[in-house]
Amino acid sequence: MTDTTPEQLDRVLDAAVAAAAVLRDRTPAERAGHLRAAADALDGAADRLIPLAQEESHLPLPRLTGELKRTTFQLRLFADEIEAGAYLHATIDHADPGWGMGPRPDLRRMLVPIGPVAVWAASNFPFAFSVAGGDTASALAAGCPVVLVAHPGHPRLSEATAQVLVAALEGAGAPTGVFVLVEGQDTGRALITDPRVAAGAFTGSLRGGRALFDLASARETPIPFYGELGSVNPAFVTASASASRAEEVAQGFAASMTLGVGQFCTKPGLLFVPADSPVPALVAERLRETAGAPMLNERIRGGYGQGLASLASHEVVEVLAGSVDPDTDPAPTLLRTSAAEVLADPRPLTAEVFGPAALVVEYTDDEELLAAARVLEGQLTATVQGDQGDAVVPALLAVLSERAGRVLWGGWPTGVTVSYAQQHGGPYPATTAVGTTSVGTAAIERFLRPVAYQDLPEALLPEPLQDANPWSVPQRIDGVQHP
């Protein structure tokens, strides 16, 4: 992997700006065609890409096959979405001399592409959150060129994926410069501070993401930076669920926390259980049956070891299963503390440890459970294992809705489907942009900005705002949605 030079980056960004101008005049059908061509080409290249991914990520074949399917499904779902056109939020207010605050002119508002977007690939999903992943798909769907910073954890796969993607986009008639892969940490810093870049999107560590967010915010012209930075994804087991289905809960939790060697943004890292619950021992039993597995790369392996050691060294934490001084392929590890200790020192005890480790937190009553939930920081997900009649449930759901982007009932947070209602985001530090999602069709909104046109003749209006509505997009007309 060779770092992109400043001169190369300069050309890449000029090309991205030029591509943005070309894309603006393309129809939704044309842009949907770009995305579908990319999906087809990636599916067609599976035989070449998947072995590279296996080699560089150490992830098992079924996982990678499923992840590539997710990636191309996502591109096609965005293609459908931009053809449907609701994402434009086309709104038409005809001139109205009788408008309540005084005569109003003809005003028409829609969303337009924000401009060239810088995307940082993540290491843990070498397809779905990397070169052709969700950020790239949603930015391209919005009509924005993408400059993608490859993740050094899978360099050959990144370059191979980019080649397939670029060839497919160009073959489908997309302008040169609509997607370019670049490499290097310095390149990333140069990108986020370049005036030609209009937004950034990132999935990765709190430290790395915050540094980029700070650069984006400190620019002379600040730009939005959509960082998905980390989450400990607490799960809460009520007394009744602990009593009635401890085995089922333990099995589900153990499977979720060890999936992908614990290397998911949504891995549950905290398990709140009643003080006398059989669940922790059952989870520990399951984990002892689960073999260690290689992590994505040495850097992540090192970070896991440090984070786990730091958590385990806390005087109120004990080890129930696994090892805090693990081998190369870490065994799943379960730790234990109490809710009283979490309330006394929340930050170190509720910090994310990226890898196959989790902390059991024992609580004495519902009041303590709610108090502990209230000290948690922003989360991607929060999970409740309870029964509808549990007195604590309404209050617990209310507290979790304030702190998490997705609240689950009776399931587990790993496995993030791509759909219309998905929300993969949450208050900081889960993300740097609490109002947004990086997964699901709403992810496109991050790369759009509104423009209103006042008193423009029909012929000069963008198609979605014309009365004739040649693209047949949904329009809100004088306050009423059609259709």
Binding to its own copies (CB under 8 A) within 298-357 occurs at: none
For residue 213, state whether it binds its own copies (rule: CB under 8 A): yes
361-380 residues near its own copies, rule: CB under 8 A: 377-378
For residue 459, state whether it binds its own copies (rule: CB under 8 A): yes
In angstroms, the CA 439 to CA 421 distance is: 10
Catalytic residue among 67, 81, 265, 377: 265
Q: How far is the CB of 223 from its own copies (least distance, A)?
A: 8
Give the count of alpha carbons within 13 A of 413, CB side only: 31
Pick the stretch among 28-36, 141-149, 173-181, 423-431 that binds its own copies (CB under 8 A): 423-431
For residue 135, state whether it binds its own copies (rule: CB under 8 A): no
CB closer to its own copies, 331 vs 407: 407
Answer for the pair 333, 318: CB distance below 8 angstroms, yes or no: no
For residue 472, state whether it binds its own copies (rule: CB under 8 A): no
For residue 21, state whether it binds its own copies (rule: CB under 8 A): yes
**144 catalytically annotated:** no
Choice from 3, 14, 186, 214 touching its own copies (CB under 8 A) = 214
Amino acid at position 363, single letter: Y
Answer for the pair 145, 179: CB distance below 8 angstroms, yes or no: yes
For residue 468, state whether it binds its own copies (rule: CB under 8 A): no
CA distances from 352 to 80, 229, 378, 475 (A): 36, 10, 12, 44
Quickly count: other Cβ atoms within 10 Å of residue 273's Cβ.
29
In angstroms, the CA 227 to CA 146 distance is: 16
Catalytic residue among 183, 228, 352, 368: 228
CB closer to its own copies, 306 vs 454: 454
CB closer to its own copies, 99 vs 364: 99
Dihedral angle of Cα 267, 139, 434, 63, to the nearest 10 degrees:
-10
Q: How far is the CB of 247 from its own copies (least distance, A)?
A: 20
**228 catalytically annotated:** yes
Choice from 422, 438, 444, 473 touching its own copies (CB under 8 A) = 422
296: exposed, middle or buried (Cβ count in 10 Å: 0-12, 13-18, 19+): buried
Answer for the pair 368, 337: CB distance below 8 angstroms, yes or no: no
Going by the DSSP 8-state scheme, the letter that residue 448 receives in this structure is E
149-178 residues near its own copies, rule: CB under 8 A: none
51-110 residues near its own copies, rule: CB under 8 A: 66, 69-70, 73-74, 76-77, 86, 89, 91-93, 99-102, 104-105, 107-109
CB closer to its own copies, 292 vs 413: 413
In angstroms, the CA 77 to CA 72 distance is: 9
In angstroms, the CA 386 to CA 376 distance is: 19
Per-position x/- string for 224-263, each x denoting binding to its own copies as judged by CB under 8 A, each - no binding:
x---------------------------------------
Answer for the pair 339, 272: CB distance below 8 angstroms, yes or no: yes
Indicate which residues carry an active-site annotation. 228, 265
